[in-house]
Protein backbone atom coordinates (compact mmCIF):
# COMPACT_ATOMS: atom_id res chain seq x y z
CA UNK A 1 0.00 0.00 0.00
CA UNK A 2 2.75 2.48 0.88
CA UNK A 3 5.15 1.73 -1.94
CA UNK A 4 3.12 0.55 -4.90
CA UNK A 5 -0.52 1.52 -4.93
CA UNK A 6 0.08 5.19 -5.74
CA UNK A 7 0.68 4.07 -9.31
CA UNK A 8 -0.89 0.63 -9.43
CA UNK A 9 -4.02 1.62 -7.43
CA UNK A 10 -5.35 -0.54 -4.58
CA UNK A 11 -7.08 -2.90 -7.02
CA UNK A 12 -4.16 -3.19 -9.47
CA UNK A 13 -6.08 -1.40 -12.22
CA UNK A 14 -3.29 1.14 -12.78
CA UNK A 15 -3.60 4.32 -14.84
CA UNK A 16 -4.78 3.95 -18.45
CA UNK A 17 -2.00 4.79 -20.89
CA UNK A 18 0.60 5.06 -18.14
CA UNK A 19 0.54 2.19 -15.62
CA UNK A 20 -0.54 -1.24 -16.87
CA UNK A 21 -3.55 -3.06 -15.46
CA UNK A 22 -2.14 -5.99 -13.49
CA UNK A 23 -5.43 -7.84 -13.14
CA UNK A 24 -5.56 -11.12 -15.00
CA UNK A 25 -2.20 -10.50 -16.64
CA UNK A 26 0.62 -10.13 -14.11
CA UNK A 27 1.28 -13.84 -13.54
CA UNK A 28 1.45 -14.53 -17.27
CA UNK A 29 4.99 -13.12 -17.23
CA UNK A 30 5.99 -16.15 -15.15
CA UNK A 31 5.46 -18.36 -18.20
CA UNK A 32 8.87 -17.13 -19.43
CA UNK A 33 12.18 -17.04 -17.49
CA UNK A 34 12.78 -13.50 -18.73
CA UNK A 35 9.28 -12.57 -17.63
CA UNK A 36 9.98 -13.94 -14.18
CA UNK A 37 13.07 -11.71 -14.03
CA UNK A 38 11.11 -8.74 -15.45
CA UNK A 39 8.71 -8.62 -12.50
CA UNK A 40 11.70 -8.10 -10.19
CA UNK A 41 13.75 -5.86 -12.49
CA UNK A 42 10.98 -3.42 -13.49
CA UNK A 43 11.85 -0.06 -11.84
CA UNK A 44 8.81 0.01 -9.51
CA UNK A 45 10.05 -3.27 -7.98
CA UNK A 46 13.83 -3.01 -8.29
CA UNK A 47 14.19 0.58 -7.08
CA UNK A 48 11.66 0.35 -4.28
CA UNK A 49 12.86 0.69 -0.71
CA UNK A 50 11.62 -2.80 0.10
CA UNK A 51 14.19 -5.35 1.27
CA UNK A 52 14.79 -8.38 -0.96
CA UNK A 53 12.64 -10.52 1.37
CA UNK A 54 9.85 -7.92 1.41
CA UNK A 55 9.88 -7.55 -2.38
CA UNK A 56 9.76 -11.33 -2.79
CA UNK A 57 6.76 -11.46 -0.44
CA UNK A 58 4.93 -8.61 -2.23
CA UNK A 59 5.52 -10.17 -5.66
CA UNK A 60 4.33 -13.57 -4.43
CA UNK A 61 1.21 -11.90 -3.07
CA UNK A 62 0.64 -9.98 -6.33
CA UNK A 63 0.95 -13.13 -8.45
CA UNK A 64 -1.83 -14.81 -6.48
CA UNK A 65 -3.94 -11.66 -6.08
CA UNK A 66 -3.94 -10.60 -9.74
CA UNK A 67 -3.53 -13.94 -11.49
CA UNK A 68 -4.46 -15.43 -13.90
CA UNK A 69 -5.15 -18.25 -11.45
CA UNK A 70 -3.65 -21.01 -13.61
CA UNK A 71 -0.31 -19.19 -13.83
CA UNK A 72 -0.42 -18.36 -10.13
CA UNK A 73 -0.99 -22.04 -9.25
CA UNK A 74 1.96 -23.10 -11.41
CA UNK A 75 4.27 -20.42 -10.03
CA UNK A 76 7.30 -21.23 -7.92
CA UNK A 77 7.41 -18.51 -5.23
CA UNK A 78 10.19 -15.91 -5.38
CA UNK A 79 12.79 -16.12 -2.61
CA UNK A 80 14.83 -13.26 -1.15
CA UNK A 81 17.95 -14.80 -2.73
CA UNK A 82 16.42 -14.87 -6.22
CA UNK A 83 15.19 -11.30 -5.86
CA UNK A 84 18.66 -10.17 -4.72
CA UNK A 85 20.30 -11.81 -7.71
CA UNK A 86 17.83 -10.40 -10.29
CA UNK A 87 17.71 -6.97 -8.71
CA UNK A 88 21.46 -6.55 -9.21
CA UNK A 89 20.77 -6.31 -12.97
CA UNK A 90 18.27 -3.50 -13.57
CA UNK A 91 16.58 -3.18 -16.96
CA UNK A 92 18.06 -0.66 -19.37
CA UNK A 93 15.14 -0.57 -21.81
CA UNK A 94 12.05 -1.26 -19.72
CA UNK A 95 9.45 -0.53 -22.39
CA UNK A 96 11.35 -2.59 -24.98
CA UNK A 97 11.72 -5.55 -22.61
CA UNK A 98 8.01 -5.38 -21.77
CA UNK A 99 6.96 -5.19 -25.44
CA UNK A 100 9.16 -8.17 -26.34
CA UNK A 101 7.75 -10.27 -23.50
CA UNK A 102 4.14 -9.42 -24.33
CA UNK A 103 4.75 -10.26 -27.98
CA UNK A 104 6.10 -13.69 -26.96
CA UNK A 105 3.11 -14.21 -24.68
CA UNK A 106 0.71 -13.26 -27.46
CA UNK A 107 -0.65 -10.25 -25.61
CA UNK A 108 -1.30 -6.80 -27.01
CA UNK A 109 1.01 -4.37 -25.25
CA UNK A 110 -1.02 -2.16 -23.01
CA UNK A 111 1.04 0.89 -22.96
CA UNK A 112 3.11 2.60 -20.45
CA UNK A 113 4.37 5.27 -22.82
CA UNK A 114 5.15 8.19 -20.59
CA UNK A 115 6.87 8.41 -17.22
CA UNK A 116 4.43 8.67 -14.35
CA UNK A 117 4.51 10.18 -10.90
CA UNK A 118 2.81 8.37 -8.02
CA UNK A 119 -0.84 9.37 -7.59
CA UNK A 120 -1.31 12.32 -5.32
CA UNK A 121 2.12 13.79 -6.05
CA UNK A 122 2.20 17.54 -6.72
CA UNK A 123 2.88 16.91 -10.42
CA UNK A 124 -0.22 14.79 -10.84
CA UNK A 125 -2.40 17.18 -8.86
CA UNK A 126 -1.22 20.02 -11.08
CA UNK A 127 -1.72 18.02 -14.25
CA UNK A 128 -5.31 17.17 -13.29
CA UNK A 129 -6.37 20.59 -12.08
CA UNK A 130 -7.03 22.16 -15.47
C1 LIG B 1 5.84 5.64 -10.12
C2 LIG B 1 4.82 4.66 -10.47
C3 LIG B 1 5.01 3.24 -10.00
C4 LIG B 1 5.23 2.78 -8.73
C5 LIG B 1 5.36 3.59 -7.44
C6 LIG B 1 5.31 1.33 -8.83
N7 LIG B 1 5.14 0.93 -10.12
FE8 LIG B 1 5.14 -0.98 -10.80
N9 LIG B 1 4.91 -0.32 -12.71
C10 LIG B 1 4.79 1.00 -13.08
C11 LIG B 1 4.79 1.09 -14.54
C12 LIG B 1 4.68 2.36 -15.37
C13 LIG B 1 4.92 -0.22 -15.02
C14 LIG B 1 5.07 -0.70 -16.47
C15 LIG B 1 6.52 -0.99 -16.79
C16 LIG B 1 7.34 0.26 -16.73
O17 LIG B 1 7.27 1.08 -17.66
O18 LIG B 1 8.03 0.44 -15.70
C19 LIG B 1 4.98 -1.08 -13.83
C20 LIG B 1 5.09 -2.45 -13.91
C21 LIG B 1 5.20 -3.27 -12.80
C22 LIG B 1 5.31 -4.70 -12.86
C23 LIG B 1 5.33 -5.54 -14.12
C24 LIG B 1 3.91 -5.74 -14.64
C25 LIG B 1 3.70 -5.22 -16.03
O26 LIG B 1 2.63 -5.50 -16.61
O27 LIG B 1 4.57 -4.52 -16.58
C28 LIG B 1 5.44 -5.14 -11.57
C29 LIG B 1 5.59 -6.57 -11.09
C30 LIG B 1 5.42 -3.99 -10.73
N31 LIG B 1 5.27 -2.86 -11.49
C32 LIG B 1 5.54 -4.05 -9.36
C33 LIG B 1 5.59 -2.93 -8.54
C34 LIG B 1 5.80 -3.02 -7.11
C35 LIG B 1 5.98 -4.30 -6.33
C36 LIG B 1 5.80 -1.74 -6.65
C37 LIG B 1 5.99 -1.27 -5.22
C38 LIG B 1 7.16 -1.81 -4.51
C39 LIG B 1 5.60 -0.86 -7.79
N40 LIG B 1 5.48 -1.63 -8.91
C41 LIG B 1 5.54 0.52 -7.73
C42 LIG B 1 4.70 2.08 -12.25
C43 LIG B 1 4.94 2.06 -10.87
Q: What is the DSSP string of 22-63?
A: -TTTGGGGGGSHHHHHHHHHSHHHHTSS--HHHHHHHHHHHH
Cβ burial of 113 (10 Å; 0-12, 13-18, 19+) is exposed
Q: What's the rounded mean pLDDT across residues 39-48?
A: 96
In this structure, is residue 37 part of a structural domain?
A: yes
In this structure, is residue 33 part of a structural domain?
A: yes
pTM given for the model:
0.88
In this structure, is residue 93 part of a structural domain?
A: yes
Protein residue with its CA nearest to atom 36 in ligand 1: 4
Domain that holds residue 49: 20-128
Does residue 105 surpass a pLDDT of 70? yes
6 CB near ligand 1 (under 6 Å): yes
What is the count of structural domains for the chain?
1
In this structure, is residue 7 part of a structural domain?
A: no
63 CB near ligand 1 (under 6 Å): no
112 CB near ligand 1 (under 6 Å): yes
Amino acid sequence: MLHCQGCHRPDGSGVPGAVPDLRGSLARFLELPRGRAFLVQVPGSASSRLSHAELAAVLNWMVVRFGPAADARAAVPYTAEEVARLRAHPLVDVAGARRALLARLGKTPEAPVRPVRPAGSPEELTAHSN
